[in-house]
Structure 1
């Protein structure tokens, strides 16, 4: 209830300022503010009837060159608010009508108090100004975000990442806007280490490095083991013959090194930390499931805690034996997220 009152008060204050000093606003800025004040109304240029719009727009008959974009703005409870502009319309020195018609419309409005001609022209001005504004607004990503449910640029950029449709959004711990922000990396056909470093560093604000070609032992499936005098496909010397049940390979795995970190950052990326799920989701969004990887957390030497009885510490995760005059950062934390998440 309090937030509604504050919002109402801010709208009233803004409308008052728009009426008192309309000339200090740009036309696009002015109409955008009006759209934000009335989110229940149709966006200008998309409405079917003028009554669907928040305000009525028109041109003030004026014989001089436009001194500003906005002429007047009047808001009254008895009739729709009206915005009058200088720069665009049928009248004035830059308008298509003969100048004497501008003078006639001005005299009828100001002297005879008969604005019939000007208001008739405003029937066309309202629609033309609405389309004029819409042509600008539809190409501005920030303006589209004023109403996220109708954001066209999220659909355009999301199509590069495979998250354009509603059914493809909000599927993990990373917000869709964060994915759109990294579209230049995630939407590329080539996934490289520098792209992954840029994404993780920008999102988590910690130093990131990538070690490529990290080796490990892979278990050979039984049907691929080498048996003497059984299968020529698995027993060709120098081609497919192997000795043992495991093979050392380094083409399928890499390591992400995060740090040096302070203790709070370090604990947030442990398997029970608050950021580790987002970390894992972000990496999977970038590389998919083709490669295997693990995480090496590096803790600053002056942040290394000492294990003590009764202290809230996790054995093997954030506790070390006391070492006097530690000279190096702690680099012995390796986490296989496939096993620990």
Structure 2
């Protein structure tokens, strides 16, 4: 609350209306667009109508439905700012009907009752007078006598000529803003998020394609937001993800101090058609039993290059419980590692904890102190020194709640 001798703080929109000359053109339009879309979200579940038009500028919608209507300055005075005036106007339903017909709206929409269509129409539209991009005025491209003609008509209460020229002013300035908007990454991302569209903006689409999430079938399938992967597209776009890159990405997003141990061997089962069998009832001559050619001893083969280990450094007990089996953070970590390394690589996650951090086991219903077998439970808490206990979680590890039968 403002003090008794201090003026009450104004919102950005109020400041823009009272002192538009203090704002730069692009930032003013961006602020209005954000304000209009946020108001539309607030009124989405209410009975009230949307206060202002929300269609994007130069997007093919009729000018009466765009979020902003531009006018150019029509005097020969010196212009000291980009934005000269900001106001709002009530939309006329009859004029909108004419604009809809001229814009080529579908006949079934035009045949709806006028009262029904009027209920669906928007009520207000922002109007901005700018000091550039006009056909007339001190900076206009047309001869000065055209400005004098417009001024003479305005003195006679005839705004037809100015309104006609403002049609071209609005289109020209809208395309100018749209051209700037097209190459601004933050503005494109902000506009797409505010409009709640599933279609990505151009920059997000490019980064998603580099990261391997360019198609709609690949999006929103991970337990972590796709937007978090766009900043890592440089690493994810490589054919092979290095150990240093994987550790760096995990530290950046998950906040975990990790190291990658490569070449962790594992035993893989061999297919039955390559196993050696001695002669018997099923195979009188045996199978793969020629010494030095196809004979194999055993049923498993040791692979040293298809598995690695993600070692998480010891952390506080609260952080340790945050990545317990079945937690959202652990599932997100496993999904991210698999996405980065590829499905052809196997991995395990090694989590360590010092015994001095673990409290004695107690049966409790508190979510923060629930005992989890193999995670935070120990048979005895009497240790001569603080031991480091390592817990290995496989890539396909499931939480106990998922394997227990339903009640």
- TM-score of Structure 1 vs Structure 2, range by shorter chain: 0.7 to 0.9
Task: Check whether the contact 2:275–2:288 (CA below 8 A) recurs between aligned residues.
Answer: no
Taking the aligned partners of 2:398 and 2:338, their CA distance within structure 1 comes to 16
Match of 2:392 in 1: 334
1:189-236 deviation line (CA, Å, top 9, x unaligned): 222222322222222111121111011233333332345795669853
- Quote the RMSD (CA, aligned, Å): 3.0
The secondary structure found in structure 2 opposite 1:210 is: strand
- Greater Cα offset, 136-145 or 77-86: 77-86
Taking the TM superposition and a 5 Å limit, the aligned residue runs for 1:21-32 are 21-32=19-30
1:266-318 deviation line (CA, Å, top 9, x unaligned): 1222213331111111112222310110000123x486214334464223211
Match of 2:306 in 1: 252
Taking the aligned partners of 2:260 and 2:219, their CA distance within structure 1 comes to 28
Taking the aligned partners of 1:232 and 1:302, their CA distance within structure 2 comes to 52
- 1:100–1:331: structure 2 CA closer, same or farther, 3 Å change rule? farther
Aligned with 2:200 (options 132, 147, 151): 151
Residue-pair matches, total: 324
Task: Check whether the contact 2:87–2:128 (CA below 8 A) recurs between aligned residues.
Answer: yes
Match of 1:317 in 2: 375
Is residue 2:361 matched to residue 1:308? yes
Match of 1:284 in 2: 338
Task: Check whether the contact 2:312–2:352 (CA below 8 A) recurs between aligned residues.
Answer: yes
Alignment TM-score, normalising by the size of structure 2: 0.70
Task: Check whether the contact 2:84–2:131 (CA below 8 A) recurs between aligned residues.
Answer: yes
- Where structure 2 has 5 or more consecutive residues not aligned to the other structure, the ranges are 1-9, 38-52, 93-124, 279-284, 365-369, 400-407
Give the superposition deviation at 1:72: 0.8
The secondary structure found in structure 1 opposite 2:301 is: strand
Is residue 2:267 matched to residue 1:207? no
Match of 1:274 in 2: 328
Taking the TM superposition and a 5 Å limit, the aligned residue runs for 1:159-170 are 159-170=209-220
Alignment TM-score, normalising by the size of structure 1: 0.82
Task: Check whether the contact 2:74–2:151 (CA below 8 A) recurs between aligned residues.
Answer: yes
- 1:38–1:308: structure 2 CA closer, same or farther, 3 Å change rule? closer
